[in-house]
Amino acid sequence: MLSPLLIILSIVAFVVHTLRHALSSPLNKIPGPWYAKFTSLVLKWNEFRANRTQYIHDLHLNYGPSVRIAPREVAFASAAAVKEIYCSGGSGYDKTEFYDMFRVYGRRTMFTTLNKDDHAKRKRIIADRYANTNIVRSPSLDGIAEGASNFVKRCFQSIGGSLDLYVRLHSYAFDCVTHHLFHPHGADSLLSSKDEEIMREVTFDDSLQNRLFQHYWPTAHKILGRILYMFAKPRETPLADKFVLDTCAQTDTTPFTLLNRLQNPSYNLDHTDVAAECLDHMAAGIDTTGDALCFLMWELSQPSSLHYQRKLQEELLANPGASFDKLPYLDAVVMEGLRCFPAIPMSLPRYVPCGGRTVDVFFLPAGTIVSCQAYSVHRIDRSVFPNPDAFNPDRWLEEKGDPERKRLFFAFANGGRGCVGKHLALAEMKMLLQAVYSRFTTLPDAAMAPEELGMSDQLISSRPAGQRCLLQFIPLDAVTGE
């Protein structure tokens, strides 16, 4: 038995050591709340409450573009910091163990590789399938066009009532991404009920708290796992797992698909590696595109944004049949939507390399966790984005400040580890908006409360807090009286 005196002395020694380390840290020069010197519990509390993004943004508003958020973690929101952390050496700093939460079937995918070399090897296999030259080819665009056509059918069916965009946009993204990954998918019409169950498993993940607890306190999670299961169930995706594993056993996929590329024997990927990569892309592609479109269409439908919706409709009606990438106002709407509601608004953590680095004039020792979050990078510099919380697509059509806006655009991250699916996502967003707003005016359903479209963090992505988004679709001929 340990004596009470020994226990007390041990506690005192621990407290003294903690205080000494906190008070002598080179990070003390960085502004931030006083408690960030001593504990990360406040940060973790906000993560568990699905509020990390807004919490860090509020700190930026109070302390500036460089802010200490934990004893060994710093958040930045400047173009210079983005360039240093994510672009130096091509791929930036190495990822932290935070990304271990996203391993699939116990395997590392391109997204979850931690060091630059492993990421580069996997990216060399995958990148050409997401190159713009591949995306704009007929086989790939045909799948997106079919998905957009199916979505428009839903819009027509909803006339006189409303449509839940949150569900339907994820279904659209599911159609598009499975076509790109696996074509032929085998579905020529709207999602079957089984497909929709798979889509819900992959995207509507309610295991946030469980996954965070397991990541931060793995030993306690093992001990308390059964109790936690009663309150926060771990993520389970049996239908999606079977769908992906079975589909990845196919050998008749067309050349433009990711599966066709991964199955090339020269890459030495086993069946589980291939399935893990595909499931990772499927989940990421559905969540990001579905949520970003949901937030954007909700904003376009607000009374304060109807004049922007009218401008978009005018451009689309004046250019029938135009390619989605030849419409400047459509591009401005999408850019502003991704600025205000980035698909991945949260921090992307990295480790400072050996020897330490200087970021925004602050020297950071090796092992410091650093990050930028798109939500704040898109808002903090008011000289580049005046009135940053306002949705204003017109800002992207101004010649003045264009280079600065582009440098601060972080919706797809930056550098060699930026979003490989950027071109696919932009094509999906633009083709869907083109199909909808050349036919309809959208208005919010009266049953919707504004707080339902608040941002709820989900580890990296975010979703509408109410997990629904009801809009009314009014045919343009009914609006114009034609």
Annotated binding site for heme: 419
Q: Which parts of 319-386 fold into alpha helices (H)?
A: 328-340, 374-377
Facing residues of 480 across strands? none
- Binding-site entries: 419
Name, in order, each residue with C-beta under 8 angstroms of 403's C-beta and a sequence gap of 6 or more: none
| Host H or E run for residue 73 | strand 73-76
Biggest CA–CA distance in the chain, Å, is 89
Burial of 64 (0-12, 13-18, 19+ CB in 10 A): middle
Facing residues of 358 across strands? 363
Tell me whether the omega of the peptide bond preceding residue 349 falls within 30 degrees of 0, making it cis: no
- How many residues in the chain? 482
Q: End-to-end distance of the chain based on CA atoms, in angstroms?
A: 89
Q: How far apart are CA 66 and CA 203, in angstroms?
A: 33
CB of 372 closer than 8 Å to CB of 344: no
Q: How far apart are CA 73 and CA 97, in angstroms?
A: 14
Phi, psi values for residue 191, rounded to 5°: -50, 135
User: 117 vs 92, 94, 254, 369, 443, CA distance in Å?
Assistant: 11, 10, 29, 20, 48
Give SS3 for 450: helix
40 CA to centre of own chain: 24
**Which phi-psi region, left, alpha or beta, contains residue 367 (left: φ > 0; alpha: ψ -120 to 50)?**
left
Helical pair 138-157 and 165-182, crossing angle rounded to 10 deg? 160
| Host H or E run for residue 350 | strand 350-351
Q: How far apart are CA 140 and CA 130, in angstroms?
A: 10
**Tokens 């210079």 label which residue?**
80
Torsion of CA 58, 166, 439, 333, to 10 degrees: 20
Q: How far apart are CA 172 and CA 433, in angstroms?
A: 12
Q: How many CA atoms lie within 13 A of 49 on its CB side?
A: 11
